[in-house]
Structure 1
Amino acid sequence: MAKRTRIIEGTWNCTSCDTRAILARHRSCPHCNNPREETGKESEFDFGEVDAVSGKSLREGVTDAKALSAAAAGADWFCDYCGASNRGDTPICRNCRAKRSATSRALAEEPDEPIGAPHPPPAPFAARGSGRKWLYVGLGLLACFGTCMYWGSRTHGVTGQVTTTEWTRTVHRETFQRVTREGWRNELSSTLPRMPVNGMGEVAGVENIRNCFPRQRGTRQVADGTERVCKTKTRQVKCGTTEKCKRKKMGNGYMKEVCEDVPKYCSKRYEDCDTRTRYRSEPVFDLSCTYDTYAWKEVDRRVESGRDSAPRWPELRPGSLDRLLREEKYAVRIDYEDSGAKEHVYEPKSESEFLSWKRGQSVPLQVNNFGSVNILAGNAVR
């Protein structure tokens, strides 16, 4: 594809009189006659904005013959004696007539930018400040969270006192008795029951299977023809051309721009269809039957509790087909002072541990700033 070349002229700002946007063709300020130098950023040229899509400069290209000649002269060089800028193809300083030496500095030419990759315009100060503000907010919240967690995990020691010990014991009496159940016929097999001895060794058994009738047990998927299923998708297709440009700064206040037409692609929607098997749900029936079996059922319970005393089990006598189930719960209440009167309830796991606690006993505690309490036992906590 044909390439189109333009020369774009940059502008500079005079640091002596603050005249701005001076065309690069002027090597001295038109207002104060100050020669353009390398110092003070006078040789940092502004080439204006570019189109965000094509990368093409929004400035008009240079058509003046003298300006085109200056652009083709090569990178500017700066006099060692007076610092003035000079055309790259002149050996003598235009300002003080000194000869160009091997040590004379020159502006560097920049490498070509890739087609379609223009320099983005600088972000507005407000936008940059806004992003920075939210960064600072996030960092601040993170710092506050870290500080809060550190403060909350700090611990200090206090001494508590046992005010009371409490216990509750429950005995459940269950009996192995005949019950009626329902089940699927193919899962039932007649089995004689066996009664428990001392609450163990029982077999529930299955007896007197009866009253069997069809009942829905579930569903199954059955093929029911075919159906056409379509999904809307998108793909990239060529839809003409678009202009893309690349630029190269020439080191003398001019920029070379090369533009060409490249393929343009657009998103096109299309239907992706497929023929699939269609299914329907059908009920599945099976025989459901009533049968007799045996199961443990609670028929009685006894509860006993106390404070500051040794725990004991309630009296409950089992029958020949009974069993006893026991459960126990213990609590030790500890009062302590920590910015006011507070209470910590500790639950021992066994009778022996519960009996080691006595009313009036002093207890060393470890409390953190969030209010979590641990009991110190030697070098360990519980």
Structure 2
Amino acid sequence: MATRTRIIEGTWNCTSCDARDILARHRSCPTCNNPREETGQESEFDFGGVDATSGKSLREGVTEEKALSAAAAGVDWFCDYCGASNRGDAPLCRHCRAQRSDTSRTLAEKPAQAPRAPAPPPPPPSKGFGRKWLVLGASLLSCFGTCMFWGSRGHEVTGQVSSTEWTRTVHRESFQRVSKTGWSDELRTRSPRMPVNGQGEEPGVENLRDCVTRQRGTRQVADGTERVCSTKSRRVQCGSEEKCSRHKMGNGYMKEECHDVPKYCSESYQDCRNQTRYRSEPVYGQSCTYDTYAWNETDVRQESGRDSAPRWPELSTGSLDRLRREEKYAVHIGYSDDGPKDYALEPKTEAEFLSWEKGQSVPLQVNNFGSVNVLAGDSVR
């Protein structure tokens, strides 16, 4: 595409009388006649802002022949004797008429005397905000660690077994004939086997009867096709837009080149396809009643005691019975720690329970959180 070119004229500020926004075509200050010099900030031109989207200068381009000629004259040079700026195509200094020499400096070679001090960037608020949260988090973590350390510190006290308790339960289960229902294709007739000493039984399947057709479940079957659409987006060209680039010409002017480039936009569209449609279809089967055997609880006995040896409740059994036993133990230890306290220990076995006696002294370790451990020699229970 065709390139459009503009010449943008910059402005400068006089450091002698503080006159501002002097056009680059003036090589001397219109107010005080001070020649624009290489030193200071007089050769630092301001070309105005640019459009954020296209990059095009917000200033109008120059069209006067004199300004265009000055822009095309080349890079400005500075006199070795008086320091005045001159057109790039001028052989003599316009201010003192001195001859341009090989040592004459150009604007592109402008030294860094008295550079403009950049303003210090403000600290990013997000980092400061993050630093505050980091400090707060570290403080909370430190506080949590201190609390955990304090709480885990313990001291020893001597307790005494105040009481012992036990509970024992016996369940009697009988292998009895029962009726159940099941699907005929999963049932195979077989004779039961009775248990011996409460084990080795086989339930069996006998006397299939009363079979009826019932819905067993559902299945998904193909039922044609259906059109399914979803909304998607894509990038498409939607015209063109102007994009510009600039470069300084070293004499107070800037050359801007603009051209049109394709512009792209988001477009929504329907993405459609055919897919198989399914429907639910009932599945039927033959449900039958049959006889079998199963363990059923027929009786339960329970005994409990305090400060005594545990015993099992008596429960008689027949040839088709079995017993299931449950036991639970507790040892209560009283101690003094800012007042009378009680700690309940739950032994898992009868042997462990019988190792405790009422009135027995028990060394305990109590931490600042109130957690209790029973000391046994150098170990903790």
Q: TM-score of the superposition, structure 2-length normalised?
A: 0.72
**Taking structure 1 as reference, are residues 60 and 339 closer, same or farther at Cα in structure 2, changes over 3 Å only?**
farther
Deviations 1:295-315 (A, max 9, x none): 112222333445555544333
**Taking structure 1 as reference, are residues 264 and 314 closer, same or farther at Cα in structure 2, changes over 3 Å only?**
same
Partner of 2:256: 257
Once the two structures are TM-superposed, the CA of residue 186 in structure 1 deviates from its matched residue by 0.3
Task: Tell me how far apart the structure 2 counterparts of residues 336 and 251 of structure 1 sit (CA, whole Å).
Answer: 94
State whether residues 165 and 330 of structure 2, in contact with CA within 8 Å, keep that contact through their aligned partners in structure 1. yes
State whether residues 158 and 362 of structure 2, in contact with CA within 8 Å, keep that contact through their aligned partners in structure 1. yes
Name which one, 1 or 2, has greater alpha-carbon Rg: 2
Q: Could you say what the CA RMSD is over the residues aligned between the two structures, in angstroms?
A: 4.7
Task: Tell me how far apart the structure 2 counterparts of residues 43 and 337 of structure 1 sit (CA, whole Å).
Answer: 90
**Taking structure 1 as reference, are residues 215 and 103 closer, same or farther at Cα in structure 2, changes over 3 Å only?**
same
Residue 51, structure 1, aligned to residue 13, structure 2: no
Deviations 1:169-197 (A, max 9, x none): 33322221122211111000111111111
**Taking structure 1 as reference, are residues 335 and 63 closer, same or farther at Cα in structure 2, changes over 3 Å only?**
farther
Task: Tell me how far apart the structure 1 counterparts of residues 19 and 102 of structure 2 sit (CA, whole Å).
Answer: 28
Once the two structures are TM-superposed, the CA of residue 262 in structure 1 deviates from its matched residue by 0.7
Q: Which amino acid aligns with 2:293?
A: Y
SS class of match (1:280): strand
Q: Report which stretch shifted further, 12-21 or 189-198.
A: 12-21
Task: Tell me how far apart the structure 2 counterparts of residues 16 and 373 of structure 1 sit (CA, whole Å).
Answer: 87
Task: Tell me how far apart the structure 1 counterparts of residues 330 and 57 of structure 2 sit (CA, whole Å).
Answer: 82
**Taking structure 1 as reference, are residues 339 and 8 closer, same or farther at Cα in structure 2, changes over 3 Å only?**
farther
**Taking structure 1 as reference, are residues 44 and 343 closer, same or farther at Cα in structure 2, changes over 3 Å only?**
farther
Task: Tell me how far apart the structure 2 counterparts of residues 161 and 244 of structure 1 sit (CA, whole Å).
Answer: 88
Partner of 1:106: 109
Q: Which amino acid aligns with 1:153?
A: M
Superposed, 1:104-143 pairs within 5 Å as: 106=109, 129=125, 131-132=126-127, 134-136=129-131, 138-143=133-138
State whether residues 35 and 85 of structure 2, in contact with CA within 8 Å, keep that contact through their aligned partners in structure 1. no
Partner of 1:234: 233
Residue 300, structure 1, aligned to residue 336, structure 2: no
Task: Tell me how far apart the structure 1 counterparts of residues 338 and 85 of structure 2 sit (CA, whole Å).
Answer: 81
**Taking structure 1 as reference, are residues 311 and 235 closer, same or farther at Cα in structure 2, changes over 3 Å only?**
same
Partner of 2:145: 150
Percent identity at matched positions?
62
**Taking structure 1 as reference, are residues 378 and 86 closer, same or farther at Cα in structure 2, changes over 3 Å only?**
farther
Partner of 2:283: 284
**Taking structure 1 as reference, are residues 330 and 287 closer, same or farther at Cα in structure 2, changes over 3 Å only?**
same
Task: Tell me how far apart the structure 2 counterparts of residues 160 and 345 of structure 1 sit (CA, whole Å).
Answer: 16
Partner of 1:224: 223
Unaligned runs of 5+ in 2: 112-120
Partner of 1:61: 61
State whether residues 176 and 294 of structure 1, in contact with CA within 8 Å, keep that contact through their aligned partners in structure 2. yes
Partner of 2:363: 362
Q: Which amino acid aligns with 2:156?
A: T
Q: Which amino acid aligns with 2:58?
A: L
